[in-house]
Structure 1
Amino acid sequence: MRKPSDTMRGHRAGAALAALLAGALTLTACSGGDGKKEADEGGGGATGSTVTLPKLNGTELEVAAVWTGTEQANFKKVLAEFEKRTGAKVTFVPAQDPIINFLGSKIAGGQPPDVALLPQPGAIKQAVEKKWAKPLGPDAVKELSKNYSQGWQDIGKVDGKPYGVYYKAANKSLIWYNAPVFENAGAKEPKTWAELLTAAQAVYDSGVTPFSVGGADGWTLTDWFENVYLSQAGPEKYDQLAKHEIKWTDPSVKQALTTLAQIWGKKDYVAGGADGALQTEFPASVTQTFTGGDQPKAAMVYEGDFAQVNIGETKAKVGADAKVFPFPSVGSTAPVVSGGDAAVILKDSKGAQALATFLASPDAATVQAKLGGYLSPNKNVPDSAYPNETQRTIAKALIKSGDDFRFDMSDQAPQAFGGTPGKGEWKDLQDFLKNPKDVAGAQARLEKDAAAAYGNGG
């Protein structure tokens, strides 16, 4: 697999992307509404292009992913479009985290799905090592080369061979906030960590808890850490920690955890306190921020662009009631962390290859983009496909970043450390949320679990 340092090249480019996001998101947040003008002027790529697919009448396929709720429902509409074009019948198979374990049980039972959406590059590598994954065929590779930057192509490769189509991306460096609460508190969108703490105090003084944290899902906590660490320690250290070339007992980790504790350990700054946060799953962490008008359970919630799916389940309108700002700079530069889900073929057939080809095309991504709460790394998805200005801004910023991004650190780790509920980094950061004063203990547990999962001592 392409190493993080190979595909994630620029701190300066990351700074430029953060600046672009900061300016553009401020504009869109102030303007409100959906705005047709920007959609019409968008330069997101070719429109009207279609991918050629074979006729697959009588073919039955299964696609597995961990997606639930609206996200699953929207993806099923993409599969319905594939069915319409090919005549195939596609069944969505709900998977559980960690998906590698889920797939292992299906394969052991002789019933693997044809295609699986894997949320970690580490999982793609494991699927290849276990000889489950099949290489992408020439048609899918052709779509990839036409529609994706080299970085997004490379992150789906193992030993230089393409296995993954990154159908879905995420900008994981965003904080969503309840606009009426900020207005009542006189709080302003922060650009630095110090300004974030100032805004939080203003919100707290107005009578609203500053932050909602979905601590029941450990991955939200790893995302918090990664943004603080990337901005504070810098990209070189980030890449080293991602590969466990430095230990989690490193002083840079201590500094990041100590910084996180300024929020996680501040009395009454987290909705429900630590115990409440650890019982709050991610969807609820979003909806409780935008339910209750200007008296919600919390004023802000950190997470990626996909939080819009959950905001859509409330009465809040993105760009008006629900606004967003880039994750503030903790060090000299604001962080830009990306994530994503890649389609990987497990049963090499004409139908499975055709589905991977379709998912690599702008046609598939455009279907889901129009439904909201989705971001594609496909550079030929037209900007006009995204349903509001905020989403268009985030999408354009992702495409303009090209190869200059940092991929989610925990997603690069072995799943035993970075992607398993109740274990590894997820559990260690949940324990730290419960006791943010124990920085040294958290570091020791993280290092012990990382060393075991990576199979080295750092």
Structure 2
Amino acid sequence: MKRPRIAISRLAATAVALAVTATACSGLNSASGEQEFSGQTLTVAGSWTGGEGKNFRKVLDGFSKKTGAKVKFVSSRAQGRDDFALFIRDLRKAGKSPDVAMVPQVGVLQQFAQKGWLEPLPPRVELEAARNFALVWQNYGSVRRIFYGLYFKASHKSTVWYSPKAFEKADVLPPKDYKEMISAGQKLSRAGTPAFSVAGKDAWPLTDWFENIYLAQAGLTNYAKLATNEIGWTDPTVIKALKTFGKLFKSKDMVAGGGTEALRTDLNESVGAVYGKDPKAAMVYEGDFVAGIISGEFNRKVDDDANFFEFPPVGKGKQPPVISGGDAAVAMKDGKNKDMAMSFIEYLASPKAAEIWAKEGGFLSPNINLDLDAYPDETTRKVAKSLVDAGEAVQFDMSDQAPGDFGGTPGQGEWQLLQEFIRDPSDPEKTAQKLDQAAAKAYLDASATGTTG
């Protein structure tokens, strides 16, 4: 169950470039690219709504302006559908498969590829990806060495957001390691502000908490093995990480209201607990998208009222974790406009497409050639630089790599078990056993139906 790898060397990239030039492939980089799809309609499916949906619409408008194509965007969440895989399945059954799907989980991308639902991306898209993305992002878009998915939007899930005002009041500086972070939390508490607000109601932030602790403590090799089910959840490294995580919830001073309050708190509420009118905590851990919530929901200026530090390493000699997630553009095999779909994905691979959304905020791109000045504030530029500079050290969200029944479904699997754990963190060994049993069943079921990588 090794993670797939795809490598495009400079020589190979040059060869592909010559081949593309020689065959005069259609696409945005060809001479015939101007308005070549005038009068045709491309259907793109994704999960974005609200501000994200509006900003992605601007990216689609950029493609329309370039090619003349009309683009119809279908949002799963706008239709009340939280499970993107089931949403696409139902569209296919109804004969309404989109031309392109913006897949929000690497496990779902692998599932679609193994079911034979996806069209491999052509050499010209591979070339554009090789120009603009670190190899790790091409790997995550590949299944059995075949390139299917172009990661357009990314998230940096190793950022801890804090209130500069609370830190200044308690005379606290951003910590350099996990031990310092706990010490800072205790000092903040003594100054009158609990350290963290945790979004336990949503459950998925708990998986992100665990993954950052695990990667920061157990290292890259163990993380990769656990993410691909090569080691079990009863491994000593897992139990050690659960113990570290559980310590946060043994005191209401470290987490506002303890585990009980965390289970009543969703992501927006956890951010509001730090940046709202009545602050209840000094820090909130989650990804770069917290910046968008701070400015959009709570009308705070990120550069002035908020700042972040990278999730710190756990233990001597350890490296800080860099965990990411993202949305990958894939071409559906039963889509009606395959050539236009490939040109659209080639367009998404360009810095120009990423720049459109970057300027609007609430967006992070793994595109190494996107000018950081495109981002609207200095804080986001710092987060983006941290992600790009991590290069091959980036690790993809572990729960997103797992079968959905274990890593991505409310009320079951890892989500439910970590919620139970923060309510009562007294027995990490028992929690590890339950996680191991749930993971084993999910991977077995997924293997039987051909839905794992």
One fold, TM greater than 0.5?
yes
Aligned to 2:40: 59
Aligned to 1:316: 300
Q: Is the 8 A contact 1:177 1:323 kept in 2?
A: yes
1:369–1:330 CA distance, 2 compared to 1 (3 A): same
Aligned to 1:390: 379
- Number of aligned residue pairs: 414
The correspondence of residues 76-225 of structure 1 with structure 2, limited to 5 A, is 76-95=57-76, 96-225=81-210
Q: Distance in 2 between matches of 1:433 and 1:444?
A: 16
Whether 1:249 and 2:234 are equivalent positions in the alignment is yes
Q: Is the 8 A contact 1:65 1:93 kept in 2?
A: yes
Aligned to 2:249: 264
SS of the counterpart of 2:307?
strand
Q: Encode CA deviations 1:103-150: one digit per residue, 9 max, x unaligned.
A: 112222222222211122221110011121121133322321221122
1:5 CA drift (Å): 8.8
Match of 1:350 among 325, 329, 339: 339
1:91–1:273 CA distance, 2 compared to 1 (3 A): farther
Aligned to 2:320: 334
Code of the aligned partner of 2:97: P
Which runs of structure 1 show a deviation greater than 6 angstroms over 4 or more consecutive aligned residues? Answer: 4-7
Code of the aligned partner of 2:107: G
SS of the counterpart of 2:284?
strand
1:197–1:402 CA distance, 2 compared to 1 (3 A): closer
1:276–1:64 CA distance, 2 compared to 1 (3 A): farther
Which TM-score applies when normalising by structure 1? 0.85
Code of the aligned partner of 1:3: R
Match of 1:230 among 207, 215, 239: 215
Q: Is the 8 A contact 2:5 2:145 kept in 1?
A: no
Q: Distance in 2 between matches of 1:151 and 1:336?
A: 12
Please identify, of 233-242 and 80-89, the stretch whose mean Cα deviation from structure 2 is larger.
Answer: 80-89
Aligned to 1:36: none
What fraction of aligned residue pairs are identical, expressed as a percent? 46
Q: Encode CA deviations 1:66-109: one digit per residue, 9 max, x unaligned.
A: 22332222212211222222222223222243311221122222
SS of the counterpart of 2:73?
strand
Aligned to 1:41: none
Code of the aligned partner of 2:302: V
Q: Distance in 2 between matches of 1:88 and 1:359?
A: 15
Aligned to 1:304: 287
Unaligned runs of 5+ in 1: 8-49
Q: Is the 8 A contact 2:4 2:143 kept in 1?
A: no
Q: Encode CA deviations 1:187-232: one digit per residue, 9 max, x unaligned.
A: 2211121211111122222222321212222221111111101111
Code of the aligned partner of 1:83: S
Higher relative contact order, chain-length normalized (CA < 8 Å, sep 6+) = 1
Q: Is the 8 A contact 2:99 2:331 kept in 1?
A: yes
Q: Is the 8 A contact 2:4 2:145 kept in 1?
A: no
Q: Encode CA deviations 1:34-87: one digit per residue, 9 max, x unaligned.
A: xxxxxxxxxxxxxxxx85545222222332222233222221221122222222
Which TM-score applies when normalising by structure 2? 0.85
RMSD: 2.3
Q: Is the 8 A contact 1:418 1:426 kept in 2?
A: yes
Whether 1:377 and 2:379 are equivalent positions in the alignment is no
Unaligned runs of 5+ in 2: 8-27, 446-453
1:4 CA drift (Å): 7.0
1:298–1:71 CA distance, 2 compared to 1 (3 A): farther
Q: Is the 8 A contact 2:6 2:135 kept in 1?
A: no
Q: Distance in 1 between matches of 2:254 and 2:425?
A: 13
Whether 1:425 and 2:414 are equivalent positions in the alignment is yes
Q: Distance in 1 between matches of 2:433 and 2:392?
A: 34
